[in-house]
């Protein structure tokens, strides 16, 4: 339907079971607490598109309150098409998935609002660690405010920040991150009094 302002309104109902989807105003990814389905609101089409949402089970156990923050996780197959730098050919490879020569892995990008430097740090640390964990379906998820499309732009930003940090002088680069199969994984963080947030997967402090 269209209201008088011309804004299109989408009924936030689970397309699978019809339950109302619980969400905050800025959320664009929704989790149905009734049937565990996930949906992304695709703005151009005003459409709810199914997306897989899982919750990571903490690897590190801490006696503190747990909050879940959503991340977009893509399969990535990075190809450098050309790279023009002043230095030697070394540093040609990306070093994003923890090893110099690894170009295939999971690319993590925060899906929640956080300052850009934090987004870069979190995306990089999880992508470099390639953490292993079990997942479950669980209750509710809020705060997923970035679309999979936004996440792909952030992936470029994270990737280029690594490239730009290398010691040679990068003049130009042509690459393809080869991102596919977007899904959302809610990552547990512990609220530790005095030291902020500690992620429940690697145990890093933020």
Nearer to Zn ion, 32 or 179 (CB): 32
Of 172, 179, 122, the C-alpha closest to 153 is 179
Question: What are 183's two structure tokens?
Answer: 């899904």
Nearer to Zn ion, 17 or 164 (CB): 17
- CB of 18 vs Zn ion, minimal distance in Å: 7
Residues at the site binding Zn ion, with contacts judged by CB under 5 A: 14, 16-17, 19, 32, 34-35, 37
- CB of 35 vs Zn ion, minimal distance in Å: 3
- CB of 144 vs Zn ion, minimal distance in Å: 16
Nearer to Zn ion, 55 or 108 (CB): 55
Nearer to Zn ion, 31 or 69 (CB): 31
- CB of 3 vs Zn ion, minimal distance in Å: 26
- CB of 141 vs Zn ion, minimal distance in Å: 13
Nearer to Zn ion, 28 or 122 (CB): 28
């Amino acid at each position: 339907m269209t209201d008088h302002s011309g804004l299109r309104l989408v009924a936030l109902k689970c397309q699978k079971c019809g339950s109302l989807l619980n969400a905050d105003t800025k959320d664009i990814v929704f989790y149905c607490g009734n049937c565990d389905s996930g949906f992304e609101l695709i703005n151009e089409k005003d459409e709810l598109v199914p997306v897989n949402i899982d919750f990571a089970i903490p690897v590190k156990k801490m006696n503190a309150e747990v909050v879940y923050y959503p991340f977009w996780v893509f399969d990535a197959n990075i190809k450098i098409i050309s790279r023009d730098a002043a230095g030697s050919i070394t540093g040609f490879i990306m070093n994003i998935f923890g090893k110099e020569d690894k170009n295939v892995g999971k690319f993590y990008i925060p899906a929640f609002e956080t300052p850009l430097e934090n987004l870069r740090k979190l995306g990089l640390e999880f992508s470099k660690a390639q953490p292993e964990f079990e997942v479950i379906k669980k209750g509710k998820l809020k705060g997923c405010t970035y679309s999979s499309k936004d996440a792909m732009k952030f992936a470029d930003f994270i990737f280029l920040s690594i490239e730009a940090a290398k010691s040679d002088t990068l003049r130009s680069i042509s690459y393809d991150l080869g991102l596919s199969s977007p899904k959302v994984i809610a990552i547990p963080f512990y609220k530790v009094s005095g030291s902020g947030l500690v992620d429940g997967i690697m145990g890093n402090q933020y």
